[in-house]
Amino acid sequence: MGRAALEQQFDELLAANGPGLARLAASFTDTPSERDDLLQEIALAVWRALASFRGECSARTFLYRIAHNRAIAYLARNRPRFPEASGEIDAPDPAPNPELGLAREQAAERLRRAVHCLPLIYRQVITLTLEGMGYAEIGEVLGISESNVGARLSRARQLLRAAMEEQK
């Protein structure tokens, strides 16, 4: 594949999956600037790996596998730090009612904080589920079986419900 074709494929992948990658990065970072740094790392890793993509899985799975690996590496480099509730969610609110918009923003922030406090193995499956991935695709991204995805997701939902109740 030529450089122009690689550039086009790279641009299309990032354009189609950019918001999801940003949400994934936000679930592994504490601040918008850290999220942006992680997104740059992900983009660079995707660019470096794209030429070796053999099409054995979907391009989306390939992309999220790279993003997941970069996020894990990011966490390993920044392990001593603890999460704080200081991030932003880039979800535009089309609602004309300011009170409803504020309530949605607060609920989204509560969810983001609760997800961010989950142990890593549960945060991973919840984040990928919120991106609309099925068990098989999540299993490919994380390198685990579909039944393991189901078990982790079930436990993650329990922990998430408990965390959301604590925040009320």
Residue-wise pLDDT for 45-101, tens only, equals 999 999 898 888 899 999 999 999 999 999 888 765 444 444 455 555 454 566 777
Q: Average pLDDT of the chain?
A: 85
Q: What is the mean pLDDT of residues 12-16?
A: 92
- Report yes or no: 68 and 144 within 8 Å, Cβ to Cβ: no
Q: Is the pLDDT of residue 42 over 90?
A: yes
- Report yes or no: 141 and 128 within 8 Å, Cβ to Cβ: yes
Higher pLDDT, 2 or 83: 2
Query: Which residue pairs from 140-144 have beta carbons closer than 8 angstroms and sit at least 24 positions apart in sequence?
Result: 140/57, 140/61, 140/65, 141/61, 141/64, 141/65, 141/68, 142/68
Amino acid identity of residue 127, one-letter, is T
Rounded Cα distance, 117 and 44, in Å: 27
Say what the pLDDT of residue 57 is: 87
Q: Is the pLDDT of residue 39 over 90?
A: yes
Which option is the CATH number for 1-79: 1.10.10.10, 3.30.420.10, 1.10.1740.10, 3.40.50.720? Answer: 1.10.1740.10
Kindly write down the DSSP assignment for every residue of 126-161, as one continuous string. HHHHHTT--HHHHHHHHT--HHHHHHHHHHHHHHHH
**Which regions of the chain carry the CATH code 1.10.10.10?**
97-168
DSSP, res 78:
T
Say what the pLDDT of residue 83 is: 45
Structure tokens at 157: 């939902």
For domain 97-168, is the CATH number 1.10.10.10?
Answer: yes
In sequence order, the 6+-apart residues with CB closer than 8 A to the CB of 159 are: 118, 119, 122
Rounded Cα distance, 79 and 75, in Å: 6
Rounded Cα distance, 80 and 118, in Å: 16
For tokens 């950019």, the residue is: 18
**Which regions of the chain carry the CATH code 1.10.1740.10?**
1-79
H or E element that contains 30? none
